[in-house]
Amino acid sequence: MSKKVLFILGPNLNMVGHREKSFYGDETAETINECVKLWAEELGFELEIFQSNIEGEIISKIHSALGAKDGIIINAGAYTHYSYAIRDAIACVVNIPTIEVHMSNIHARDEFRHKTVIGAVCRGQISGFGKFSYRLALEALKDIFESEDEKP
């Protein structure tokens, strides 16, 4: 049975390819999402991609994963740095492995981007590899699922 993964993209990530090209490159969000879908398929995952610029919608989507998804990959965008509400939503579904992901290296950017409030409730964080950060997150989830399947 394939694992179900929720891929959440936060505010302004629908504008990748148009915004801050020095950090995000020229490739559009749509083409990146197509790559992510292909990678997920290669790994045997059912993938749902959800993007919202609205904090409450992201929180509701995280809540909806309970009992419905096996893993979450989240690029919360700017919410990463200050949304305790998204942090608490991830903590509510603590039994679902969640990986925080960023295309850019948040530690090499503005000082306010160095802090992540959601990281403490995520299984891990991947940043700085462009769209390949998402591939690494998918591969990390696969490893997590396989190690959980091996438990007696």
Task: Give the C-alpha separation, 5 to 51, whole Å.
Answer: 14
Stretch 56-66: mean pLDDT: 98
Give the 3-state secondary structure of residue 100. Answer: strand
Q: What is the pLDDT of residues 111-124, one digit of tens each?
A: 756 578 999 999 99
CA angle 149, 94, 12 (to 5 degrees): 110
pLDDT band at 101 (very low <50, low <70, confident <90, very high): very high
Taking phi over 0 as left and psi of -120 to 50 as alpha, with beta for the rest, 113 belongs to: alpha
pLDDT band at 16 (very low <50, low <70, confident <90, very high): confident
Stretch 97-117: mean pLDDT: 80
Catalytic residue set: 24, 102
User: Which of 45, 91, 34, 38 lies closest to 71 in space, CA to CA?
Assistant: 45
**pTM of the complete model beyond 0.85:** yes
pLDDT band at 72 (very low <50, low <70, confident <90, very high): very high
CA angle 20, 26, 31 (to 5 degrees): 120
Token code pair at residue 87: 């942090």
Q: What is the pLDDT of residues 18-33, one digit of tens each?
A: 756 556 567 889 999 9
